[in-house]
Amino acid sequence: MQLLLAPMEGLLDFVLRDALTRVGGIDRCVSEFIRVTNTLLPNRAFIRVMPELLNGSRTPSGVPVRGQLLGSDPVCLAENAARLASLGPEGVDLNFGCPAKVVNRHGGGAALLDEPELVVKIVSAVRRAVPDTQVVSAKMRLGFNDDRRAVECAIAIAEAGASELVVHARTKADGYRPPAYWARIADIRAAVRIPVIANGEIWNVEDARRCQALSGASALMLGRGMVTDPGLALAIRANAPTPLAWTQLLPLIQDFWNLVCKTQEPRQRAGRLKQWLNFLRRTYPEAEAAYMAIRTENDQAKITTWLQTLHQLAR
């Protein structure tokens, strides 16, 4: 079984990738999308989103990271894919699933699922631009307003040259509302000859097993479920629904905060910690208390002292 860590704009960046891959159980990550418009991006633009490029395309714990591109112009995407490929990523991924309005208004992300012909042009152009030794993959939703063209889009992606496809089993219109329609992934798997990875609404071991049963996919991509329960990948592998103890998680939160303070803008730092604690509240009662303790605090020094004290008390 292969377990991947999802790309989530504004949440699962290189800092949280570092923290979550340290826990174990994840085979590969995909970066947040790198937006491509009408220009060839400089190397620093790719490295800013995916600093793992400076570490052999690996997180500090050694998990491979694939770079994801988002855009709608085949020529520009191909040029930028070639540049990204020159930096040595684990592979190049294409985003056909982002539901953000600002992205969709410009014809990117999930909006492309209404234009399978353009999807073919994009994947074909990128595949030609990227060396044969590197993987080109894609991530899609089931559609924009409905899923009528889901299989058509998946076939377009596969026949244009992608060697792997992740399917988030909801449409753009569905957003992140449950349920995820895992059975529709089985329809896609039956129509293409490339590996299909299931994604969407996998919060626990039971969800993972049901997703595998309904989709027929052995490989899964974990997103918010992994953020709320960093031990989820290990639990799925062990088929044992037991989260990490809070005392095991605290050192990870401390390391996360230290890296946030080193790499993020000062005005963003407190918010990043609160964001993760807010997700962790779903699994950990202790995270609820921690979140409430710093909910209104933005002073970095005070948060650092508070976190150190919390860590010491839990030992």
Bridging pattern class, strands 91-96 and 135-141: parallel
CA 192/CA 154 separation, integer angstroms: 7
Find out whether 83 and 46 touch, Cβ atoms under 8 Å: yes
CA 140/CA 162 separation, integer angstroms: 12
Find out whether 67 and 92 touch, Cβ atoms under 8 Å: yes
Measured CA angle at 306 (ends 300, 312), to 5 deg: 135
Report the 3 state secondary structure along 130-195: CCCCCEEEEEEECCCCCCCCHHHHHHHHHHCCCCCEEEECCCCCCCCCCCCCCHHHHHHHHHCCCC
List 98, 153, 211, 261, catalytic entry: 98
CA distances from 262 to 69, 96, 236, 256, 257 (A): 26, 32, 33, 10, 9
Q: Is 98 a catalytic residue?
A: yes
What are phi and psi for residue 32, nearest 5 degrees? -55, 155
Q: Which residue has the tokens 């293409």?
A: 192
Q: Which residue has the tokens 């490295």?
A: 47
Q: Which of 113, 67, 69, 74 is nearest to 95 (CA)?
A: 69
Amino acid letter at 112? L
Q: Enumerate the active-site residues.
A: 98
